[in-house]
């Protein structure tokens, strides 16, 4: 197990901050966080997997200490994917195993489907490929995704999430946990510190403003299958991505595929069931 250290990578016009452990290992694992987190979401897996791999967890553009472009279009999915391709090259690798949760899962699917030359394996947590999401989309899921529509409103979401010392963002962490105690006071303090970085709230919401309605709710998802080895992990008590919305992920994959369901975990699955997720990743990464 290696110490977690920090560095920056200039990727085009955007400087990304990242956490890294196990420098110099033969294989690279990239861990991508979601909303409203930062590299810290993967702290347990960063440390645990570093005995065998170089493991890096960037702050995605707009988050924590990474650059925060001002324009909404700077948060389109293709640009988020470009960042990770650039980061893999910056670290001296041609390919990486890419693991993503929430928005990180969306970027991981994009890389596996459209930038597969950079991806040796892909693991997604909680969020299925767009084609699966749209095939399963129900009224119940649309109602559960109300916040995606709310985030299209100018200015109001920023105020709502940051008011009363970030009560809105803190509430998201706590309400989407399957059980109390997932986030300690120290964890919440770490998140609040990241949200207090200058201009931190608008970029988080711009992920949803850039092209989310088209990607999530219009019937234009690519039907091309993913052709790299794939693992899907899902905490079954998720209130944001409902169980009915992740049925049939295997049908979008034309490669070795495995799926792990964790009955007692909610949306923050790699923190709520960290040992199961870490062990599942270790087994998946080791497979030939």
Q: Tell me: the pLDDT tens digits for 65-118? A: 999 999 999 999 999 999 999 999 999 999 999 999 999 999 999 999 999 999
Cα gap 177→264, rounded to integer Å: 10
Contact in structure between 234 and 260 (CB atoms under 8 Å): yes
pLDDT score of 223: 74
Rounded to the nearest angstrom, the gap between the alpha carbon of residue 18 and the centroid of all alpha carbons in its chain is 14
For residue 1, the model assigns a pLDDT of 65
Task: Tokens for 5, please give them.
Answer: 């250290």
Q: What is the pLDDT of residue 221?
A: 63
pTM, two decimal places? 0.97
| Lowest-pLDDT range of 1-5, 46-50, 265-269 | 1-5
Return the higher-pLDDT residue of 192 and 213: 192
Active-site residue, selected from the candidate residues 17, 33, 101, 267:
267
Domain chopping of the chain, boundaries: 5-286
Active-site residue (options: 102, 118, 207, 234): 102
17 flagged as catalytic: no
What is the rounded average pLDDT of the residues 184-209?
A: 96
Out of 59, 208, 234, 238, pick the active-site residue.
Answer: 208
CATH, domain 5-286, list 3.20.20.70, 3.90.1300.10, 3.40.50.1820, 1.20.120.1200: 3.40.50.1820
Rounded to an integer, the average pLDDT of 156-171 is: 97
The verdict on whether 90 is a catalytic residue reads no
β-pairing, 119-125 vs 96-101, is parallel
């Amino acid at each position: 197990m290696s110490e977690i250290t920090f560095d920056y990578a200039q990727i085009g016009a955007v400087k990304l901050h990242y956490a890294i452990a196990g420098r110099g290992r033969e294989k690279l694992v990239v861990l991508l966080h979601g909303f409203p987190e930062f590299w810290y979401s993967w702290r347990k897996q960063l440390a645990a997997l570093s005995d065998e791999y170089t493991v890096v967890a960037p702050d995605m553009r707009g988050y924590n200490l990474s650059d925060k472009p001002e324009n909404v279009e700077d948060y389109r999915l293709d640009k988020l994917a470009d960042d990770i391709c650039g980061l893999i090259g910056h670290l001296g690798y041609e390919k990486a195993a890419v693991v993503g949760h929430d928005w990180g899962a969306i970027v991981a699917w994009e890389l596996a489907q459209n930038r597969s030359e950079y991806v040796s394996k892909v693991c997604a947590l909680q969020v299925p490929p767009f084609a699966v999401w749209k095939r399963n989309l129900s009224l119940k899921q649309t109602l559960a995704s109300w916040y995606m529509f709310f985030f299209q409103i100018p200015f109001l979401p920023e105020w709502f999430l940051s008011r009363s010392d970030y009560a809105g963002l803190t509430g998201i962490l706590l309400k989407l946990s399957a059980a109390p105690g997932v986030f300690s006071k120290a964890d919440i303090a770490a998140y609040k510190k990241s949200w207090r970085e200058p201009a931190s709230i608008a970029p988080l919401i711009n992920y949803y403003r850039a092209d989310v309605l088209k990607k999530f709710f219009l019937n234009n998802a690519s039907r091309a299958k993913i052709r790299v080895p794939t693992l899907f992990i899902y905490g079954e008590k998720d209130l944001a991505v409902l169980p009915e919305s992740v049925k049939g992920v295997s049908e979008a994959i034309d490669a070795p595929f495995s799926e792990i369901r964790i009955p007692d975990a909610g949306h923050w699955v790699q923190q709520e069931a960290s040992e199961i997720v870490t062990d599942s990743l270790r087994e998946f990464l080791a497979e030939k």
